[in-house]
Amino acid sequence: MLTISGVALPAWLTVVGILVGAVLAAAIYFLPFIIGETRNVPHIGSIFVVNLFFGWSVIGWVIALDMAMRTKAPPVTPVPVPPPAGQPAAGWLNPGLWRRSERERDRRLLRH
């Protein structure tokens, strides 16, 4: 039994205290991963691996924390660009270009 100031604590309270301490220690140890996950940082798996294997050293933990605190890349929104005047829209084949590539292919085949 654990005694504090001469007062004996029940065994279950000691077990609960150890479990709470272990959960708090794990939360502090994986704090970089938790921060990265809540911020939706890209490459969260690499943060987890660095934190898991190198977090025991203070340098590894700080590196994982730095990776988790990185600014996220801004989302890329594609902007439709209209085709230049006189050209077909994207997705349409230019028949003149198609015929020219067929002629070049035929010439290459005839040379060999």
**pLDDT score, position 63:** 95
Alpha helices in the chain (DSSP H): 11-29, 31-38, 44-54, 58-68, 95-111
* Structure-block tokens of residue 92: 């349409």
Alpha-carbon distance of 44 to 52, in angstroms, equals 12
- Mean pLDDT in the chain? 82
- For the chain, give the percent of residues with pLDDT over 70: 78
β-pair partners for 8: 3
* pLDDT at residue 98, rounded to an integer: 56
Look at residue 6 and tell me whether its pLDDT is greater than 70. yes
Report pTM: 0.56
Query: For residue 16, is pLDDT > 80?
Result: yes
Average pLDDT of span 58-69: 94
- Decide which of 82 and 62 is more confident: 62
The whole-number pLDDT of residue 83 equals: 64
Could you tell me which of 31, 5, 2 has the C-alpha nearest to residue 16? Answer: 2
- Region of 5 (left: φ > 0; alpha: ψ -120 to 50; beta: rest) is left
Q: What are φ and ψ of residue 30, in 5° steps?
A: -95, 20
* Residue linked to tokens 């660095």: 50
- Checking if the pLDDT of 23 tops 70, the result is yes
pLDDT for residue 45 is more than 90:
yes
